[in-house]
Chain A
Amino acid sequence: MNLRRTLAISRRIADLFRRDHRTLALMFMAPIVIMALLGWVIRDQAPTDTRVAIVNTAGAPGEVIGSHIGDTLTAAGLTYRADVTTQDAARQALIDNQLDVALVLSLNGQVPGIKFLTLGVNPTQDSGHVQAVQQAVRTALGDSGSSIAQESVYGTGDGDFFNAFSPALVGYLVYFLVFILTGISFLRERIGGTLERLLATPVRRSEIVVGYSLGFAIFATLQVALVLAYTLGSVHVAPIGPLPEINIGLGVPIAGSPALAFVITLLLAISAVNLGIFLSTFARTEFQILQFIPLVIIPQGLLSGIFWPVSSLPDILQPIAALMPMTYGIDGLREVLIRGSGLGDAAVQLDIAVLAGLSLFLAVAAVLTIRREVA
């Protein structure tokens, strides 16, 4: 190995960073900004009250235990909803966002059974509430050997985080990949001279943006269909010779219409196309398009409600989350796939309307960045 040649290559890399201040700044700033954002989001989440109801199905002994737990809950600062006493009422209260956890008491012989009933739309949120209640239950009952189970109104409620996360992940992955592909593709139009050439034909700028959206939408359609099919479906393959049996597909159970989920994901993908075109104006190289990942994609991952509900974000960050297409895509997908909402539900209508509006806004922004005058 020749040291001089090796060092010449290292030096070239150093020169590259020296010349490309943006990359340099990003390399140092991006991890700090992301860590700061994460710290902010996780530490400064609005303290959310946990509203608990106790449903007794264990007769007289349950009354005693329930009242004891109720006192402990109140003493621990949780809101005890003594007015909700049946499973049906608890489920309705969960759906209406009047309740966070219902504690269902049962008696199996001499062993008290406890079931935590949650909504099941956002697993992180549910588990935070359940933890708070568990703490109180442990204080009330000690280690009494009671059996503990968990159930949710939506989803499988068996603690499979993936089931509840998968709608959000589908939306996020599609958005991310479509953004990167469009960004790079349009950047190449700008720097490769083809955009200049396109603009020397009678084509309108809006035709370019709509054409791009349609072209990418065809492939986004296939991508979304494939990702949804793989995530939601499951095919069992029997053992063949020495090969063990396998399941193809994740078999995530869903409550609502896959077609509606498809429409929402597609709208999300179209907003990613237009964002990609728009942001490609601010990049000169493919490398710089990738730099938008920590600026555009990661913050949306942190703020759009994938992990934490938008309502629990610090106050300053909530309006930012409200401007992100991902926020509505994730909410829409959860509404449809987990809650089973349809087109008639106001929440889904709002998500679709805002997503369409944001896509249109980004399309206009994208058109405005395509100028006949490049120089």
Chain B
Amino acid sequence: MEQAAPAITARGLTKRFGDITAVDALDLELPAGRIYGLLGPNGSGKTTLIRLLVGLAKPTSGEARVLGVKMPDRENLARIGYMTQADGIYIELSVWENLRFFAALSGTGDRKAMDDVLSLVHLSERKTAPALNLSGGMRRRLSLACALVHRPSVLFLDEPTVGIDPALRVEFWKYFRELAAAGTTIVVSSHVMDEADRCDELLLMFHGKVLARGSGAEIRQQAGVDDMEGAFLKLGGGESEVAATAA
């Protein structure tokens, strides 16, 4: 299938922290309206890449563009949603107050959008509950709701399904699919291999570089194995990284 204008581009995108190169001269072009899976072991540069794309980190060299705008760009953030690895919610506030706060910062106060997103993450019943009283999985759901509430065109999800039960995980993916069909570009970082096949395209990251790119089937074929874990191990080429990934 062919492809709309790129929602995300990177040209020679590099980020160094002292001697460590977290993202290494990355060139990317990700067309809009698709779900991209960012796979890689811990420390492979997934989160740094997402932070560069969101504009929370400045590249050492090269550039990143989201929706055609060079990042970092404050105004452009109104069109971007970001679910961090940490929950990033206010535990003293209620579910609704958290949602209202992040909606306001992104310039929207659309009650219906807030209700819709709460119902999606199955938290409508807990609207008035303090986030402190929510289970870990519920907090993760609230965190996702806060990233979605302003209906972003590009959505970055850093390990979104950690701590979420399998039934809800299926539902999340169904919703991600609906969002993508409506034109939202989604970048999901994960090291849960069974989620890989739910993505339209996978980017396998090792040491700050994308070593392989393609659909799940293409990557398995490239590695010459039948399963994603095997492909991941083979293309990554390091047992120690695998151990970190499995952790």
Partner of A202, one of B48, B89, B107: B107
Judged by a CB distance under 8 angstroms, whether B28 is at the interface is no
Complex contact A202–B58 (CB within 8 A): no
Of B3-11, B32-40, B49-57, B167-175, the one contacting chain A is B49-57
Partner of B86, one of A193, A198, A203: A193
Of A102-110, A242-250, A367-375, the one contacting chain B is A367-375
Q: How far does the alpha carbon of A6 sit from the alpha carbon of B235 in the complex, in Å?
A: 50
Partner of B88, one of A194, A202, A203, A372: A194
* Minimum CB–CB distance for B52 against chain A, Å: 10
Judged by a CB distance under 8 angstroms, whether A97 is at the interface is no
Q: How far does the alpha carbon of A192 sit from the alpha carbon of B132 in the complex, in Å?
A: 13
Which of A199, A201, A203 has its CB near the most chain B CB atoms (within 10 A)?
A201
Of B72-80, B200-208, B215-223, the one contacting chain A is B72-80
Complex contact B57–A196 (CB within 8 A): no
Complex contact B77–A202 (CB within 8 A): yes
Partner of B105, one of A193, A198, A373: A198
Judged by a CB distance under 8 angstroms, whether B106 is at the interface is yes
Report, as a range, how many residues of chain A touch the other chain. 10 to 19
Residue of A whose beta carbon sits closest to that of B77: A202
Residue of B whose beta carbon sits closest to that of A194: B88
Main secondary structure of the interface of B (DSSP, over half): loop
Residue of B whose beta carbon sits closest to that of A197: B88
Q: How far does the alpha carbon of A204 sit from the alpha carbon of B87 in the complex, in Å?
A: 22
Judged by a CB distance under 8 angstroms, whether A200 is at the interface is yes
Contacts of B17 in A (CB 8 A): 375
Contacts of B57 in A (CB 8 A): 372-373, 375
Judged by a CB distance under 8 angstroms, whether B84 is at the interface is yes
Contacts of A200 in B (CB 8 A): 54-56, 77, 80, 82, 84
Complex contact A203–B84 (CB within 8 A): no
* Minimum CB–CB distance for A184 against chain B, Å: 12
* Minimum CB–CB distance for B132 against chain A, Å: 12
Complex contact A374–B56 (CB within 8 A): yes
Residue of A whose beta carbon sits closest to that of B76: A202
Q: How far does the alpha carbon of A328 sit from the alpha carbon of B17 in the complex, in Å?
A: 43
Complex contact A194–B89 (CB within 8 A): yes
Judged by a CB distance under 8 angstroms, whether B180 is at the interface is no
A349-375 vs B, CB cutoff 8 Å, 1 = contact: the mask equals: 000000000000000000000001111
Complex contact A203–B51 (CB within 8 A): no
Kindly identify, within residues 180 to 231 of chain A, every residue whose CB is under 8 Å from any CB belonging to chain B: 192-194, 196-204
* Minimum CB–CB distance for A219 against chain B, Å: 14
Which of A193, A194, A197, A372 has its CB near the most chain B CB atoms (within 10 A)?
A197
* Minimum CB–CB distance for A204 against chain B, Å: 7
Partner of A196, one of B72, B88, B90, B106: B88
Contacts of A193 in B (CB 8 A): 84-88
Contacts of A373 in B (CB 8 A): 56-58
Complex contact B74–A204 (CB within 8 A): yes
Given contacts A200-B54, A202-B107, A372-B55, contact A192 B77 (CB under 8 A): no
Given contacts A372-B56, A373-B57, contact A201 B102 (CB under 8 A): yes
Complex contact B82–A197 (CB within 8 A): yes
Contacts of B58 in A (CB 8 A): 372-373
Partner of B102, one of A192, A197, A375: A197
Which of A199, A200, A204 has its CB near the most chain B CB atoms (within 10 A)?
A200
Judged by a CB distance under 8 angstroms, whether B114 is at the interface is no
Judged by a CB distance under 8 angstroms, whether B146 is at the interface is yes
Complex contact B48–A196 (CB within 8 A): no
Q: How far does the alpha carbon of A192 sit from the alpha carbon of B48 in the complex, in Å?
A: 18
Complex contact A192–B74 (CB within 8 A): no
* Minimum CB–CB distance for B98 against chain A, Å: 9
Q: How far does the alpha carbon of A354 sit from the alpha carbon of B57 in the complex, in Å?
A: 37
Residue of B whose beta carbon sits closest to that of A189: B90
Contacts of B84 in A (CB 8 A): 193, 196-197, 200
Partner of B56, one of A192, A199, A202, A203: A199
Complex contact B48–A375 (CB within 8 A): yes
Complex contact B105–A203 (CB within 8 A): yes
Residue of A whose beta carbon sits closest to that of B78: A202
Q: How far does the alpha carbon of A194 sit from the alpha carbon of B86 in the complex, in Å?
A: 9
Contacts of B72 in A (CB 8 A): 372
Complex contact A375–B51 (CB within 8 A): yes
* Minimum CB–CB distance for B95 against chain A, Å: 15
Contacts of A372 in B (CB 8 A): 55-58, 72
Contacts of B80 in A (CB 8 A): 200
Residues of B within 8 A of A (CB): 17, 48, 51, 54-58, 72, 74-75, 77-78, 80, 82, 84-90, 102, 105-107, 146
Q: Give 22 CB contacts A-B under 8 Å.
A: A192-B88, A193-B84, A193-B85, A193-B86, A193-B87, A196-B56, A196-B86, A197-B84, A198-B105, A200-B56, A200-B80, A200-B82, A201-B77, A201-B105, A202-B78, A202-B105, A203-B105, A204-B74, A372-B72, A373-B58, A374-B56, A375-B56
Beyond contacts A200-B77, A201-B78: 4 other A-B pairs, Cβ-Cβ < 8 A, are: A194-B89, A197-B84, A372-B57, A375-B51
Q: 8 closest A-B pairs (Cβ-Cβ)?
A: A193-B86, A193-B88, A197-B88, A201-B105, A200-B82, A202-B77, A202-B78, A203-B105
